[in-house]
Amino acid sequence: MECSNNKKCPSVSLMFQVGENASYHRMGGCDQSTDTCTNRTCRGHEVDIMHFSIGNAIPGRLYGGNPIDNRDGNGGDRFGHLVDLYAWNPHCRYLDGLSPSGNDSSAQNNWQGAWWHDSFGVHSGFVEEDGPYASAGQKGKYYFEFSRPLRTMDHLQQDVQFTIGQTSKLAVAFWYPVDGNPWHGSAHYSINCDWVPLDISVGSSVLNKVASTSGSSWDAASAFALLLSVVSLCLSIFIGYRVSKTKSIIPFTPMDHL
């Protein structure tokens, strides 16, 4: 479970439609060549891609966007190769912020993610010196978790922008080194042969439950506050009465008579 060659380790990728004419097939479907594809000649064919190759990524650690690579203004990840890309077709694929017509220093990697395998016996986390993390040939499942803000600062049609309550178009690919042989780009598994819908749910049932719970909590807090106010008022009246009664009993003695 350790390899320095990314193509001898599993990799996973997410692809989202950005341009209205971007197709699942041919990664956006722009018919331009490497020498002629630009944001003008391929306008409307943009797809947003997140690719994670786990070759040098420690299990359970977070990779992707980081201050060092984001400072350089691109979608790279020098630590774990969880990169943020865009494409117009398989031959015109670039890190966010990089393009044939010039680079944009405001771009960044907005993705973060981690991976795990259920054959690992340690659940408190690994460090680099623990590799290899398991013996070769272990059967089990790989787990990948990814996160990204719904909206990004992108202004170049390189990132998909998610909206709560709306549907985005998604594709998922998985590469695996069969019999220990390195995988190649077109030899991947896919969850479908076309776009699949990704619903960004508003979570109304959860919100309603939270609102109901908050309402009942507020009622209880209000009742307790009212009770505390009444007790404080009664206590103040009692203390005032005792003080005034004590003053009427104890005679006042001027200082010059002492």
Of 201, 218, 237, the last residue of a domain is 201
pLDDT for residue 210? 45
pLDDT for residue 206? 46
β-pair partners for 82: 52
Higher pLDDT, 40 or 231: 40
Q: Give the confidence band of 257 by pLDDT, cuts at 50, 70, 90.
A: low
Question: Is there a single domain that holds both residue 58 and residue 186?
Answer: yes
Separation between Cα atoms, residue 107 and residue 71, nearest integer Å: 9
Q: Is 86 left (phi over 0), alpha (psi -120 to 50) or beta?
A: beta
Separation between Cα atoms, residue 86 and residue 46, nearest integer Å: 7
Please check whether residue 256 lies inside any domain of the structure: no
Please check whether residue 43 lies inside any domain of the structure: yes
- Provide the number of structural domains found in the chain: 2
Please check whether residue 1 lies inside any domain of the structure: no
Please check whether residue 221 lies inside any domain of the structure: yes
Q: What percent of the chain has pLDDT over 70?
A: 72
Higher pLDDT, 183 or 198: 198
pLDDT for residue 185? 82
pLDDT for residue 234? 66
Mapping DSSP to helix (H, G, I), strand (E, B) and coil, where does residue 214 land?
helix
pLDDT for residue 130? 66
Please check whether residue 27 lies inside any domain of the structure: yes
pLDDT for residue 236? 66
Question: Is there a single domain that holds both residue 87 and residue 215?
Answer: no
Question: Is there a single domain that holds both residue 143 and residue 243?
Answer: no
Question: Is there a single domain that holds both residue 70 and residue 182?
Answer: yes
CATH code for the domain of 79: 2.60.40
As a whole number, mean pLDDT of residues 78-94 equals 95
Question: Is there a single domain that holds both residue 174 and residue 196?
Answer: yes
Higher pLDDT, 123 or 99: 99
Question: Is there a single domain that holds both residue 167 and residue 217?
Answer: no
DSSP strand pairing (82-89 vs 63-64): unpaired
Please check whether residue 13 lies inside any domain of the structure: yes
As a whole number, mean pLDDT of residues 185-205 equals 86
Is residue 138 within 8 Å of 1, Cβ to Cβ?
yes
Of 201, 224, 240, the last residue of a domain is 201
Q: Give the confidence band of 40 by pLDDT, cuts at 50, 70, 90.
A: very high
Q: Give the confidence band of 131 by pLDDT, cuts at 50, 70, 90.
A: low
Question: Is there a single domain that holds both residue 52 and residue 148?
Answer: yes
Q: Give the confidence band of 124 by pLDDT, cuts at 50, 70, 90.
A: low
CA 63 to chain centre: 11
pLDDT for residue 38? 93
Please check whether residue 257 lies inside any domain of the structure: no
β-pair partners for 168: 198
Separation between Cα atoms, residue 218 and residue 249, nearest integer Å: 47
Question: Is there a single domain that holds both residue 114 and residue 232?
Answer: no
Taking the CA atoms of 42, 16, 84 and 154 in sequence, report the sign of the dihedral they define: positive
Question: Is there a single domain that holds both residue 187 and residue 220?
Answer: no
Separation between Cα atoms, residue 97 and residue 105, nearest integer Å: 6
Of 201, 216, 240, the last residue of a domain is 201
Please check whether residue 258 lies inside any domain of the structure: no
Q: Determine whether 171 is exposed, middle or buried from the number of CB atoms within 10 Å of its CB (0-12, 13-18, 19+).
A: buried
Question: Is there a single domain that holds both residue 178 and residue 242?
Answer: no
Q: Give the confidence band of 103 by pLDDT, cuts at 50, 70, 90.
A: confident
pLDDT for residue 46? 97
Question: Is there a single domain that holds both residue 121 and residue 246?
Answer: no
Q: Would you give the DSSP letter of residue 156?
A: S
Helix then strand then coil, in percent of the chain rounded to 5, is 25, 20, 55
As a whole number, mean pLDDT of residues 102-121 equals 88
As a whole number, mean pLDDT of residues 173-186 equals 87
Question: Is there a single domain that holds both residue 143 and residue 231?
Answer: no
Separation between Cα atoms, residue 111 and residue 50, nearest integer Å: 7
Mean pLDDT (the chain) is: 83
β-pair partners for 167: 199
Instruction: State the residue range of the domain holding 232.
Output: 206-251
Give the tens place of pLDDT for each residue, 200-213. 888 654 445 544 55
Separation between Cα atoms, residue 82 and residue 224, nearest integer Å: 52
